Homo-oligomer: A and B are copies of this chain.
Amino acid sequence: MLSRVNTRVLVVDDEAGVRKALERGLRAEGMDVVTAADGPSALRLARTGTFDALLLDIMLPGLSGYRVLQRLREEGVRTPVILVSAKDGEIDQADGLDLGADGYLVKPFSFVVLRAQLRAVLRRTGGDRARGVVRLGGLEIDRSAREVRFDGATVALSPREYALLETLARGAGTVLTKDDLLAEVWGDERAATRNVVEVYVGYLRRKLDAVGAGDMVRTVRGHGYQVTSG
């Protein structure tokens, strides 16, 4: 159990201080944290569907937290969202929850409450690990239909191949070692050799190649594999 794939949280706030504080706190809880400072970049990051939860401030430059949430839901992204508002406006609360938010916090909030809300939200979406759509470049992984498409063309994958691709895509951008992948995809049992990962990456590449996405899975020699949006 070296570097497990942790819970991934996206923190969106325009104040750098708040971002830093939340990032540090959540990391201490053992979560992977990614931050964004404005609406558009929050939307861009969130729509990849690779997060387990979003912490979304309402007051944002570019695109309000409301709009970000609204857009995400429209696009079928069902990642749990906790809205954060600066002042206790009741109407705001109502609107936010109706838009599909899963929780609500009013500044200033204590870290204890934040952690509790996060846990509640994660418990609900449970081992399910969010049933939305993962998008990466032209690649689409529909987790509820268990279907993979690239530029519209569906790619038929075996269960193992699918699990591997999903795991790689969920860690989008980061390099996953073969041991990481063995633990995540093959389970904690030491039943399989490392070579099986290479074999299955090969299978994946061949099938992705057939639809023009051959170079999505990149080898990082000596370290592992990585999927990129290019």
Contacts and interface: CB of A to CB of B under 8 A. Distances in A.
Interface of A: 90-91, 93-98, 100-102, 109-110, 112-113, 115-117, 119-120, 123-124, 131, 144-146, 158-159, 173-175, 220-223, 226
A123 B159 CA distance: 30
Which of A96, A112, A120, A144 counts the most B-chain CB atoms under 10 A from its CB? A120
Contacts of A158: 221-222
A175 B144 CA distance: 6
A175 B90 CA distance: 39
Contacts of A159: 221-223
**Number of copies of this protein chain within its complex:** 2
Given A159-B222, A173-B145, A175-B145, A97 B124 contact: no
A98 B115 CA distance: 9
A124 B145 contact: no
A94 B120 CA distance: 9
A223 to B, nearest CB: 5
Given A131-B174, A159-B222, A159-B223, A113 B94 contact: yes
